Structure 1
Amino acid sequence: MSLVRNSLSLLLCLVSLSAPLAAGDGLRSLADAERRIFSAVGRLQIEGDRMCTGTLIAPELVLTAAHCVVDRANRPIAADDILFLAGWRNGGAEALRYGRRIAIPPDYDIGQAGAAGQRNDIALVQLSDPIERHRIVGLRIGADPEKRETVGVVSYAEGRSEYASIEENCPVIDRREARIVLVCDVDRGASGAPVLRFGPDGPEVVSVISAMTWMGDRKLAVAIGLDDQLPALKAQLSGSKRVRPAEAGGIRQLSRDEAVSLGGAKFLRP
Structure 2
Amino acid sequence: MTYLLLAVSLLTAVPPAQAQSTQAQSTGLARLTDREDLLGWEAVGRLEIGGRGYCTGTLIAPDLVLTAAHCVFDRRTHRRHAPETLTFRAGLRDSVSIADRSVAQIAVPPDYDAGGPGNLDRVRNDVALLRLAQPITSRDADPFVLHSGQGVGSGVSVTSYGQGRSEALSRQRRCSIVAQADDLMAFDCDVTFGSSGAPVFARVGGRGRILSLISGGGVVEGRKVAFGMALPAVVDRLKVRLRADRRPVGAGARRLGVGTGHRPAGAKFIRN
Select 2:184's aligned residue among 179, 182, 194: 179
Alignment of 1:1-150 (within 5 A): 8=2, 12=6, 14-18=8-12, 20=22, 22-25=25-28, 27-30=29-32, 32=34, 33-72=36-75, 73-113=77-117, 114-143=119-148, 145-150=150-155
Deviation of the 1:70 alpha carbon? 1.6
CA distance in 2 between partners of 1:226 and 1:10 (Å): 17
* Larger deviation, residues 86-95 vs 217-226: 217-226
CA distance in 2 between partners of 1:195 and 1:143 (Å): 11
Deviation of the 1:102 alpha carbon? 0.2
Deviation of the 1:140 alpha carbon? 1.4
Amino acid at match of 1:8: T
**Compared with structure 1, are the counterparts of its residues 10 and 93 closer, same or farther at alpha carbon in structure 2 (3 Å cutoff)?**
closer
In percent, how many aligned pairs have the same letter? 35
CA distance in 1 between partners of 2:219 and 2:238 (Å): 30
* Larger deviation, residues 194-203 vs 93-102: 194-203
**Compared with structure 1, are the counterparts of its residues 163 and 136 closer, same or farther at alpha carbon in structure 2 (3 Å cutoff)?**
same
Alignment of 1:182-221 (within 5 A): 182-188=187-193, 190-221=195-226
Q: Normalized against structure 1, the TM-score is what?
A: 0.85
**Compared with structure 1, are the counterparts of its residues 189 and 24 closer, same or farther at alpha carbon in structure 2 (3 Å cutoff)?**
closer
Tell me what 1:267 maps to: 266
**Compared with structure 1, are the counterparts of its residues 67 and 152 closer, same or farther at alpha carbon in structure 2 (3 Å cutoff)?**
same
CA distance in 1 between partners of 2:83 and 2:116 (Å): 23
Deviation of the 1:240 alpha carbon? 4.1
* Larger deviation, residues 9-18 vs 77-86: 9-18
Deviation of the 1:175 alpha carbon? 1.0
CA distance in 2 between partners of 1:95 and 1:182 (Å): 31
CA distance in 1 between partners of 2:73 and 2:99 (Å): 24
Q: How many residue pairs align between the two structures?
A: 254
Deviation of the 1:144 alpha carbon? 5.0
Q: Unpaired segments of 5 or more residues in structure 1?
A: 1-6
Q: Is the 8 A contact 1:185 1:219 kept in 2?
A: yes
Q: Unpaired segments of 5 or more residues in structure 2?
A: 15-21
Report SS of the residue matched to 1:57: strand
CA distance in 2 between partners of 1:143 and 1:36 (Å): 24
Tell me what 1:4 maps to: none
* Larger deviation, residues 169-178 vs 122-131: 169-178
CA distance in 2 between partners of 1:167 and 1:122 (Å): 22
**Compared with structure 1, are the counterparts of its residues 187 and 52 closer, same or farther at alpha carbon in structure 2 (3 Å cutoff)?**
farther
Q: 2:235 aligned with 1:230, yes or no?
A: yes
